[in-house]
């Protein structure tokens, strides 16, 4: 049965598949069954290789990290993330968050997470978009794990140049972090930090460093996608 929120969303968004554009059946949401079964799921694969944790090696201490899907420049995952970020389709965060949340709640690595925090976007961008694309994703994971979600623990204080426009050398310069803690939290927490797509890991590294300014904070990471 659909929730009121979903009914509300469906008033405004045509029920077509974000992957291929076909009209969705009543029992389908966001993407059709054919597109869904073909999504490149990364979650189980990442449990057996350290491709994701390597991004943070020698940069910052991470407890555990995971990602739901493999992200390629072209394909259904790219279309999902693009629609979430640029086409007002906030419900995609809900869809992906429920999915990964159902996997994470059975995963020993995340059993002692205390709180879920989203990577912030600059307030100007959030106003333009109307939401932070990691919020619904983070809320669903928090609900799955039975812990609290906090949206405003971190703030992005500068709207830096888009990472895509930076070269590799500039990307690795983390000395001028735009991320700061703006809401206090207690020491000693295991925080799950969530984001849309991890590529170089720089954003998540900077956010982790900010959060670890509070004593004995342990950080794990979950993202919608990991670039391949």
Residues at the contact surface with Zn ion, assessed by CB under 5 A: 17, 19-20, 32, 35
Query: How near is the Cβ of 222 to Zn ion at its closest, in Å?
Result: 25
- Rounded to an integer, what distance in angstroms lies between the CA atom of residue 136 and that of residue 68? 15
Cβ-based burial of 3 (10 A; exposed 0-12, middle 13-18, buried ≥19)? exposed
CA torsion through residues 175, 55, 168, 125, sign:
negative
Beta carbon of residue 34, minimum distance to Zn ion (angstroms, whole number): 5
CB 59 within 8 A of CB 105: no
- Report in angstroms how near the CB of residue 32 gets to Zn ion at its nearest: 3
Query: Within 13 A of 136's CA, how many CA atoms are on the CB side?
Result: 18
Phi, psi of 43 (to 5 degrees): -50, -55
Choose between 7 and 15: whose C-beta lies nearer to Zn ion. 15
Q: Which of 35, 113 has the CB closer to Zn ion?
A: 35
CB of 18 to Zn ion, least distance (A): 8
Least distance (Å) between residue 114 CB and Zn ion: 37
Task: Give how far Cα 141 sits from Cα of 93, 202, 203, 218, 221, Å.
Answer: 10, 22, 20, 18, 12
Neighbouring C-beta atoms of residue 36, cutoff 10 Å: 17
3-state secondary structure of 6: helix
Half-sphere exposure of 149 (CA within 13 A, CB side): 19
Which residue, 56 or 70, has its beta carbon nearer to Zn ion? 70
Pick 80 or 191: Cβ nearer Zn ion: 80
Shortest Cβ 195–Zn ion spacing (Å): 25
């Amino acid at each position: 049965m659909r929730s009121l929120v979903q009914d509300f969303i469906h008033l405004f968004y045509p029920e077509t598949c974000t992957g291929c554009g076909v009209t969705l059946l009543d029992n389908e949401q966001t993407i059709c069954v054919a597109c869904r079964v073909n999504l490149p799921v990364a979650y189980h694969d990442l449990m057996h290789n350290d491709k994701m944790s390597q991004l943070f090696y020698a940069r910052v201490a991470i407890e555990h990290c995971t990602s739901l899907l493999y992200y390629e420049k072209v394909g259904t995952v790219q279309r999902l993330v693009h629609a979430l970020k640029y086409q007002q389709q906030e419900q995609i965060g809900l869809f992906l968050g429920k999915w990964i949340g159902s996997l994470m709640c059975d995963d020993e690595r995340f059993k002692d997470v205390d709180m879920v925090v989203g990577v912030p976007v600059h307030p100007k961008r959030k106003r333009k978009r109307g939401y932070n694309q990691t919020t619904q994703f983070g809320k669903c994971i928090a609900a799955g794990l039975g812990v609290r979600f906090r949206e405003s623990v971190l703030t992005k204080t500068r709207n830096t140049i888009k990472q895509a426009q930076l070269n590799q050398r500039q990307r690795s310069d983390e000395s001028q972090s735009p991320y700061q803690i703006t809401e206090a939290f207690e020491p000693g927490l295991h925080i799950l930090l969530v984001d849309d797509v991890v590529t170089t890991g720089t954003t998540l590294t900077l956010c982790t460093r900010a959060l670890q300014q509070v004593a004995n904070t342990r950080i794990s990471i979950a993202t919608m996608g990991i670039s391949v």
